[in-house]
């Protein structure tokens, strides 16, 4: 599992194209039009990752939203769950508690690292860079922080040294295939974060495109996510939701 310590230090990606496949085989890009229940998504990811590891399926990025819920990573501390307002699921990824819900773009990334350098630290930095590039397209400055996985935005309007998290990262690697991924706050209800201590960090806040004054649609963000992903990871090809579940659950919509 990928834990927060993997973001420490500067020995991640040594070259800009380290995460791209040499054969330039495209990654399937799948977008679910309706919110997907978390247990269904988790089962589908596991099935797809296993199929990729077995050489039976293509790599995939899955862009979805979830109904409001909290997930607990392997380092979650019980005291950081402040409310039972929403369902809580064990995610099986690294990290602590996080929130998913409408208005948040979740990108589940199922990549074969045997074709992409076998470097998990590089993967994490690549995912952070993917988010930072996406934010930059909207004139939002996203930043990394040593020891704190995810992407942060400085908030001098809230006080000296204040900053908010705009995107979380939590991945797991099994047989060198990744699953789980990133969550980017576009226009979620930020009060939903009040039920947890997000990622165990209590002295900083959370933000979103909307909170920062950027009113954008999810399809607009998806388009930018696609182009910025391709810069770092290589080409994508559009695929249907059915292609994702050919080895997993047949119904993804609640």
Annotated catalytic sites, by residue? 199
Burial of 240 (0-12, 13-18, 19+ CB in 10 A): exposed
Give the Cα separation of 15 and 74 in Å (integer).
31
The backbone region for 92, taken as left when phi is positive above 0, alpha when psi lies in -120 to 50, beta otherwise, is: left
Q: What angle do CA 132, 91, 179 make, to 5 degrees?
A: 55
Half-sphere exposure of 245 toward its Cβ, with a 13 Å CA cutoff?
15
d(CA 122, CA 55): 23
Instruction: For strands 104-110 and 177-185, give the pairing.
Output: antiparallel
12, 229, 70, 159 alpha-carbon torsion, rounded to 10°: 70
The DSSP secondary-structure symbol of 22 reads T
Question: Residue 117's closest CA among 199, 186, 14?
Answer: 14
Per DSSP, the three-state class of 92 is coil
**What is 195-215 written as a DSSP string?**
GB-GGG--SSEE--TTTTT--
Q: How, if at all, do strands 27-31 and 60-64 pair?
A: parallel
């Amino acid at each position: 599992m990928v834990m927060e310590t993997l973001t420490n230090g500067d020995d991640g990606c040594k070259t800009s194209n380290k995460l791209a496949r040499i054969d330039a085989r495209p990654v399937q890009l799948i977008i679910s039009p309706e919110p997907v229940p978390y247990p269904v998504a988790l089962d589908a990811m596991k099935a797809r990752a296993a199929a990729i590891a077995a050489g039976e399926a293509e790599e995939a990025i899955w862009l979805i939203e979830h109904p409001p819920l909290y997930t607990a990573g392997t380092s979650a501390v019980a005291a950081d769950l402040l409310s039972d307002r929403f369902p809580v699921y064990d995610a099986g990824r690294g990290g602590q508690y996080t929130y998913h819900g409408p208005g948040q773009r979740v990108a589940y990334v199922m990549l074969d690292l045997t074709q992409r350098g076998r470097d998990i630290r590089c993967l994490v930095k690549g995912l952070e860079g993917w988010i930072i590039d996406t934010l930059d397209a909207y004139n939002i400055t996203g930043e990394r922080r040593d020891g704190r996985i995810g992407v942060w935005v400085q908030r001098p309007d809230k006080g000296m040294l204040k900053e908010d998290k705009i995107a979380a990262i939590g991945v797991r690697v099994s047989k060198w295939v990744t699953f789980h991924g990133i969550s980017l706050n576009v226009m979620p209800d930020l009060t939903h974060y009040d039920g947890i201590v997000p990622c165990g960090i209590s002295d900083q806040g959370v933000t979103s495109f909307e909170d920062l004054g950027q009113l954008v649609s999810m399809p607009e963000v998806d388009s930018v996510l696609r182009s910025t992903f391709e810069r770092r990871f290589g080409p994508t090809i559009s695929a249907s939701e059915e292609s994702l579940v050919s080895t997993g659950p047949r119904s993804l919509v609640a």
